[in-house]
Amino acid sequence: MKFYSLNNHNIQASFKEAVIAGIAPDKGLYFPESITPLPADFFENIEKLSNHEIAFKAIHQFVNEDIPDEALKDIIANTLDFDFPVVEIEENIATLELFHGPTMAFKDVGARFMANCLGYFSQGEKQDVTVLVATSGDTGGAVANGFLGVDGVKVVILYPSGKVSEIQEKQLTTLGQNIEAMEVKGVFDDCQRMVKTAFLDNEITDHKKLTSANSINVARWLPQLFYFLFAYKQAKSKGKEIVFSVPSGNFGNICAGMVAQKLGMPAKHFVASTNVNDVVPKFMANGVYEPMSSVATISNAMDVGDPSNFVRIRHLHQDDLKTLQQHLSSYSFTDNDTKKIMKEVYSQTGYMLDPHGAVGYLGVREYQKSHPNTYGIFLETAHPVKFLDVVEETLGLSPEIPSQIIKVMDKEKKSHKISSYEELKQYLITT
């Protein structure tokens, strides 16, 4: 299968080429040339399949020309070695817990899948690949953990100084080996802008092979469709139309869910739940896309003012607003809304939401006001402990610290502080 640039469909690449390049030479995101629905009996009998079998069948058409079946099975086994439970919170509302991986965030799936793909592709290569990635929170830790020690791959992570949680920062700045952290004076959008600029800078790319591990990269983005299928497998027996509410920042996660829908997953609708960075809710209401400077919130991983993957979502729906509105609703919520629902859900059910999952929960409730006979699944994208200060302040209690977190808390932070693109460029050229 070929992947084409969304800016120019004549620019095409294989899966391997798209993964290694990260972004097309014209700055466009790569998109698969076709999405062939899976056979009806796949969904009819999905309860009988293991998660590894589901993932293999779902991703096969996108990668099979570059990754042999046995190698793909190994990659999936190395990626999916933890659980993805659907936990019912109340009648007709459940959460898909995506925090049972090594860094306790949903991005473990995409980061590990991509790391394993790059590890496979780099076998026998003479030139190292440098993975350049911007993070607003959880991407950095997941990428650092997924790529740690991978032969032939170096990782440079840019993150906004003072705008990620202490635990998130520890997870991306303490590993060493082939992982370097760049602490940027600015916001996530500044980090993302630097990454995109570096990819198009010939003075860097003429002697260094760059790729991205943000969700702009097809190997980070596509495998996120796996856990929507795992959730459908668990919720199918409810016998109700399923709606997914996804806390959304860069919109790669919800876009992957929509690819699962294109594969035939019988999900009725998607809800993009955002914080006050509300570019997409406004677009869904008036059809005008106006990027904004990102605003800092307690759900910091969603503080994105120009979500990269929304162009993929529009393309999936022929860039037609009415078609998109049939499959997507989008609502924004304030920090006060988020804290209030965290308190309410904990007091009524004993379930502890993180500030991102809380926004997802709010999206389900909003959608169900007009669609009450649906089964809403919101994504709990990270463990509450990763946002310890917010949880402690809001709920007045401290969650138990899991072992995955304890092991990084006492490690020494190491980062390079930069405030301009030129500083990043000099680092990349000279190292």
Three-state SS letters, the chain = CEEEECCCCCCEEEHHHHHHHCCCCCCCCEEECCCCCCCHHHHHCHHHCCHHHHHHHHHHHHHCCCCCHHHHHHHHHHHCCCCCCEEEEECCEEEEECCCCCCCECHHHHHHHHHHHHHHHCCCCCCCEEEEEECCCHHHHHHHHHHCCCCCEEEEEEEECCCCCHHHHHHHHCCCCCEEEEEECCCHHHHHHHHHHHHCCHHHHCCCEEECCCCCCHHHHHHHHHHHHHHHHHHHHHCCEEEEEEECCCCHHHHHHHHHHHCCCCEEEEEEEECCCCHHHHHHHHCCCCCCCCCCCCCHHHCCCCCCCHHHHHHHCCCCHHHHHHHEEEEECCHHHHHHHHHHHHHHHCCCCCHHHHHHHHHHHHHHCCCCCEEEEEEECECHHHHHHHHHHHHCCCCCCCHHHHHHHCCCCCCEEECCHHHHHHHHHHC
Query: Residue holding tokens 């294989």?
Result: 14
End-to-end CA distance of the chain: 35
Tally of CB atoms within 10 A around 306 = 18
**Whether residue 107 lies in the annotated active site:** yes
Half-sphere exposure of 298 (CA within 13 A, CB side): 24
Annotated active-site residue in 2, 27, 107, 154: 107
Q: Which residues contact 345 (CB under 8 A, 6 or more apart)?
A: 89, 351, 353, 358, 361
349, 89 in Cβ contact below 8 A?
yes
Distance (Å, whole) CA 195 – CA 198: 5
Q: Which residues are catalytic?
A: 107
